[in-house]
A and B are shown apart, each in its own frame.
Chain A
């Protein structure tokens, strides 16, 4: 089945220790997104890739970076996680140019910072 996959589902890291979250997709969508979602809050867009073009949201901290080595994979790097970065991180994909351009989400990675 075509899908969006995130690994790991749960990630524990230490304060200040770099961490990388992974996302892959078999939908062959050209747009990939990273969202941060804290408890009882709306998903907050961090950045997105339109093909290879990287787009950063204005309020995304410099501590967060992303890589997209190919169409299928996208990574979220948190250089120096703080306690406030503990959240669910959602990866999503969509196909640009379609009529509806629905975003499809992966199961998320819950990050815990100790």
Chain B
């Protein structure tokens, strides 16, 4: 089966650092995506990992360990506008770009 696990909700303070974890069990692995989704809006692409290690992009970084079926999204210097849901999605079997999404982690950033 296919399973993606993320914490349901997290809270953090403006200016802080937060790490959102994602564990997955999928049939095959061809990459892991993180998307940001503000309430009532469409998901927007944040990052992509296919090899083990850390990918850094400004205030956001994403890490992958394929052997552990584990990824995290690291958000630094949190801003109020970072309050959103963060979706972890895995591209499983080869041949087609089907994504399996987690239910998302709702992040609330407070002043």
Give the B-binding residues of A (Cβ under 8 A). 31, 40-43, 45, 48, 50, 55, 88, 90, 94, 96, 100-108, 110
Q: Return chain A residues, CB-CB under 8 Å to B104.
A: 40, 42
Q: How far is the CA of A16 from the CA of B71 in the complex (A)?
A: 43
Q: Return chain A residues, CB-CB under 8 Å to B31.
A: 100-101
Contact A42 B42 (CB under 8 A): no
Contact A90 B87 (CB under 8 A): no
State the Cβ distance, B6 to closest chain A Cβ, in Å.
9
The 6 closest A-B pairs by CB, nearest first: A42-B101, A105-B42, A101-B97, A42-B103, A108-B42, A107-B42
In the complex formed, the residue of B with least CB distance to A57 is B98
Q: How far is the CA of A94 from the CA of B87 in the complex (A)?
A: 18
Given contacts A31-B97, A50-B96, contact A105 B103 (CB under 8 A): no
Could you write out 24 A-B pairs with CB less than 8 Å apart? A31-B97, A40-B103, A40-B104, A40-B106, A42-B87, A42-B101, A42-B102, A42-B103, A43-B43, A45-B98, A48-B96, A55-B96, A90-B42, A94-B97, A101-B31, A102-B33, A102-B45, A103-B45, A105-B35, A105-B43, A105-B44, A106-B42, A107-B41, A108-B42
Contact residues, B57-77 vs A (CB, 8 A): none
Interface residues on B, range: 20 to 34
B40 touches A (CB below 8 Å) = yes
Q: Return chain A residues, CB-CB under 8 Å to B45.
A: 102-104
Given contacts A42-B87, A42-B104, contact A103 B99 (CB under 8 A): yes
